[in-house]
């Protein structure tokens, strides 16, 4: 539906509030496929919001996307199945209001309704504003659409109740069973923890904890024994002098354990073949410094520049070199690295709690496509590992096609490599019954991460 003359919102001339900013981001995500985490970060930086407004805008965007299927289920019934025919802005205004009423219970229902009606007036016309008012008032009064029956169609029930694509719900239901699949889906909808890792090259963990407390934080050691501190939600890294000075990095606890499996030693030459955004690369550089060298490869020029800025300028890590190249054809001689990390591109189905919009972008067919790319990259990573060297393969996905199948296929074709037990390198809480890292959001409270350690036969330098 077109807006009338003179009614077009102009964010460059008029300061928008938290709810309007959230609506604009939701529209960008739906209309042009914008990545909401990056757009949200940019818009919040431009807005100069205070802490409470920034937190509200973040919650509205991420929460509305996380619970979109549940919100749409109720809104479709209350609009008499006309919800999908509404203009995108009105759908988003309804979702924002419904999210505040159904999920974000700390906001008074009257405020949720009134603010969405105001957005509908600004982005629509009196008729759509009236519709938004009527539908949200019915929700606020307690009207609900019944969920799909669990016994008749468990996948439909879980898909709507926990807002995940049906194809993904069916996969997890078949693999884990109802109770565990539901726990995993629920964990995806929880607000993720904020965890930071000290720059081991420049500061001890206990000193970082002292400085964090001086910034008003209450750092708590990683609950699984990983090398991180958990911070209260609301920590904004870009506003922290410790972050700006390069004394810490934001990193999930399970992700931070992957370089431990690689176990780089001081003085070694190590390759991170798909390095951006650089959390694992920085850990490796910190461990091999100052005599050793990290070579970090990233295929996209913009991400390579950001990676170089982070490693060299912010973290001040010596001998960290960034190379912009395709990981399948990097400009290196064979067998020249002591250790190689392949943190491969993947579906990211283990980190849906951090990327609220990702679940709606994913398609089941992409799993096989990415598995093919992962196998190609692993071939190249193996060729660059010297005899006696260590190769670690990791992804932020728990799908069998991207994890065990890739490693098993590789080992069956490469007798010069053997799999090693990753558990001696892991904190006890991550050391499960298998010789790999397999971290789950609902079991560990972390990202879903898989990592396997392999060693190339030959002369070893570390015994």
Catalytic site positions: 396
How many CB atoms are located within 10 Å of the residue 404 CB? Answer: 16
User: If we measure between CA atoms, which residue out of 394, 399, 410 comes closest to residue 365?
Assistant: 399
Helix H segments across 79-190? 88-102, 109-123, 126-140, 154-161, 166-176, 178-188
Report helix, strand or coil for 295.
Answer: strand
User: If we measure between CA atoms, which residue out of 101, 105, 37, 107 comes closest to residue 65?
Assistant: 37
Tokens describing residue 274: 């798909």
CA distance 357 to 94: 18
Which helix (H) or strand (E) is 321 found in, with range?
strand 320-324
Spatial contact of 166 and 128, defined as CB atoms under 8 Å apart: no
CA distance 322 to 306: 10
* Sole residue written with tokens 């491969």: 344
Instruction: Give the largest CA-CA distance in the chain.
Output: 77
Cα–chain center distance at 287:
25
Backbone angles phi, psi at 270, to 5 degrees: -125, 140
Tokens describing residue 267: 């003085």
CA distance 98 to 57: 15
């Amino acid at each position: 539906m077109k807006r009338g003359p003179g009614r077009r919102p102009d964010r460059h001339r008029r300061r928008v509030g938290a709810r309007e900013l959230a609506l604009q981001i939701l529209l960008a995500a739906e209309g042009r496929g914008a990545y909401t985490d990056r757009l949200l970060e940019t818009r919040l930086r431009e807005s100069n919001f205070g802490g409470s407004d920034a937190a509200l805008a973040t919650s509205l965007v991420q929460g509305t996307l996380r619970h979109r299927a549940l919100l749409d289920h109720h809104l479709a019934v209350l609009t008499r199945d006309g919800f999908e025919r509404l203009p995108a802005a009105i759908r988003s205004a309804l979702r924002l209001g419904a999210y505040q009423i159904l999920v974000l219970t700390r906001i008074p229902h009257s405020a949720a309704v009134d603010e969405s009606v105001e957005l509908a007036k600004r982005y629509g016309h009196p008729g759509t504003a009236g519709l938004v008012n009527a539908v949200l008032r019915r929700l606020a009064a307690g009207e609900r659409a019944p969920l799909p029956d669990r016994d008749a169609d468990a996948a439909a029930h879980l898909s709507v109740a926990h807002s995940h694509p049906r194809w993904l719900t069916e996969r997890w239901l078949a693999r884990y069973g109802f109770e565990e699949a539901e726990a995993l889906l629920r964990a995806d909808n929880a607000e993720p923890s904020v965890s930071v890792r000290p720059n081991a090259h420049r500061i001890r963990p206990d000193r970082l904890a002292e400085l964090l407390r001086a910034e008003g934080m209450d750092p708590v050691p990683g609950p699984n024994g990983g090398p991180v501190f958990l911070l209260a939600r609301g920590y904004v890294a870009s506003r922290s002098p410790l972050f700006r000075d390069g004394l810490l990095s934001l990193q999930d606890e399970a992700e931070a354990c992957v370089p431990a499996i690689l176990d780089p030693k001081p003085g070694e030459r190590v390759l991170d073949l798909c390095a951006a955004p650089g959390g694992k690369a920085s850990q490796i550089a910190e461990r091999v410094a100052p005599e050793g060298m990290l070579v970090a490869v990233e295929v996209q020029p913009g991400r390579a520049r950001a990676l170089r800025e982070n490693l060299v300028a912010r973290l001040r890590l010596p001998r960290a070199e960034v190379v912009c190249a395709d990981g399948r054809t990097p400009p290196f001689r064979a067998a020249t690295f002591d250790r190689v990390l392949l943190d491969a591109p993947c579906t990211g189905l283990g980190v849906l709690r951090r990327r609220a919009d990702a679940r709606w972008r994913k398609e089941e067919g992409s799993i096989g496509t990415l598995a093919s790319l992962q196998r190609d990259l692993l071939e190249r990573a193996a060729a660059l590992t010297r005899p006696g060297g260590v190769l670690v393969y990791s992804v932020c996905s728990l799908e069998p096609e991207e994890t065990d199948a890739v490693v098993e296929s590789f080992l069956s074709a490469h007798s010069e490599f053997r799999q090693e037990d990753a558990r001696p390198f892991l904190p006890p809480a991550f050391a499960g019954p298998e010789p790999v890292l397999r971290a789950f959001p609902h079991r560990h409270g972390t990202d879903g991460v898989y990592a396997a350690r392999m060693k190339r036969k030959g002369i070893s330098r570390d015994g």
